[in-house]
Amino acid sequence: MGSSRYRPVIILIAVIAAIQLATLVSGKAFYLTQLTMTAYYSLIVIGLCLLMGFAGQISLGHAGFFAIGGYTSAVLTTLDLAAYRDTATAMLLTRLHVLASRQDLYGATMLSVHPWAACAVAVLLALAVAWAIGIPVLKLKGHYLAMATLGFGTIIYSIVLGTQRFGAADGISSVPPFPLLPGASVSGTASQRVLNYYFAWLLVTAAMVLLVNLINSRVGRALRSIHGAEDAASAMGVDTARFKLSTFMLSAVLAAVAGVFLTHFNGGIGPSEASIMKSVRYVAIVAVGGMASIWGTLIMSVVLNFFSLRGYFGTFDDAVFGGILILIMLFAPDGIIGSDLRALVRKLLPRAETVKKPEK
């Protein structure tokens, strides 16, 4: 059964490589920048797909987790602790590589948190917030859940926008590159473009493998049972609260990781990344992708994010996503990869729900 589950993953890897080669051949390597950003946004969206499509819990605040990741990393890596260089704590932390010296724009030496350490803090913080918020919020249903998550997103947005340390309306800029290996880093420099493209999509591929396995496991069946009928699932012995919470936390971590790396890639982050419109956009993409189809969601995420980032929607960017939401929900609540198309796609991309053919 393993081979059919991983076939789409292999196709994905092939497509990733093919696109890179295509941009190389056609001399349009600049597309890779948007495709890299698309990858990070896709990471949030597939996490949200697991939460919405499989566990059946809507979140209108996922941009908040993205912002928690991005802003934590941005604040910690741009913090200048040079004044505390000689304190015992700072020396210990430097030895542990938690703090690292680097040159700022003007050549002065500054001491700030190492990006890896900042990333760990960001992920832990996102986990902690998701846990603390998730326990009460996931008890809610329907409109209450939607409003509570919307409220969470709005709180993060207004904190980010109203706090001087977070750069208020300007956001945080001059975030340093994120070192991966010697000579390789997550940054916006043109020489690292191909590497960044592959790194971002590697993360997406890894997340997809994780989610595909999760969906096909006992956990995935438990989640679908929660989506179908929570009370029945509970009666059958599924610990609904725990499954919902861990899904929420997993999707929050994916969003935070996306936030961390996109911030280093862009060299900064602004409050618009935390805005409600972003959260709504992620929900829109999951809806278009067919709610309970991570492959459909990934495909729509790539298409819509790429067009949006390339500026094809112009000033109607938000309106396009609003319109998509309405049209999809009115005419095709199961996504545009509708029944006919879906049957076709199912042949090409075996999905979680597909009944497994008997093994020969």
The footprint of other proteins (CB under 8 A) covers 58, 60, 136-137, 139-144, 146-148, 150-152, 154-155, 158-159, 161-163, 168, 276-277, 280, 283-284, 287, 316, 318-319, 321-326, 329-330, 333
Helix (H) or strand (E) holding 4: helix 2-26
Residue nearer to other proteins on the CB measure, 29 or 140: 140
CA atoms of 184 and 178, how far apart (whole Å) = 9
CA atoms of 29 and 44, how far apart (whole Å) = 24
Residue nearer to other proteins on the CB measure, 225 or 279: 279
- Residue 143 beta carbon to other proteins: minimum distance, rounded to whole angstroms: 4
Tokens of 290: 């067919």
Residue nearer to other proteins on the CB measure, 30 or 316: 316
CA atoms of 269 and 272, how far apart (whole Å) = 8
Residue nearer to other proteins on the CB measure, 210 or 277: 277
Residue nearer to other proteins on the CB measure, 270 or 350: 270
Residue nearer to other proteins on the CB measure, 104 or 318: 318
Tokens of 324: 């998509």
- Residue 160 beta carbon to other proteins: minimum distance, rounded to whole angstroms: 10
- Residue 72 beta carbon to other proteins: minimum distance, rounded to whole angstroms: 18
336: Cβ contacts below 8 Å, ≥ 6 apart: 288, 290, 300, 328
- 138 within 8 A of 56, measured Cβ to Cβ: no
- Residue 70 beta carbon to other proteins: minimum distance, rounded to whole angstroms: 19
- Residue 214 beta carbon to other proteins: minimum distance, rounded to whole angstroms: 22
DSSP letter (8 states) at residue 164: G
Strand partners of residue 308: none
- Residue 151 beta carbon to other proteins: minimum distance, rounded to whole angstroms: 4
Strands 99-103 and 109-113: antiparallel
- Residue 195 beta carbon to other proteins: minimum distance, rounded to whole angstroms: 37
- 223 within 8 A of 54, measured Cβ to Cβ: yes
- Residue 56 beta carbon to other proteins: minimum distance, rounded to whole angstroms: 8
Inter-axis angle of helices 2-26 and 31-49, nearest 10: 160
- Residue 158 beta carbon to other proteins: minimum distance, rounded to whole angstroms: 5
Residue nearer to other proteins on the CB measure, 148 or 245: 148
Residue nearer to other proteins on the CB measure, 2 or 314: 314
Residue nearer to other proteins on the CB measure, 147 or 343: 147
The label of the residue with tokens 């001491």 reads: 111
CA atoms of 108 and 7, how far apart (whole Å) = 51
CA atoms of 102 and 65, how far apart (whole Å) = 28
Neighbours of 352 (CB within 10 A): 19
DSSP letter (8 states) at residue 178: E
Helix (H) or strand (E) holding 130: helix 115-137
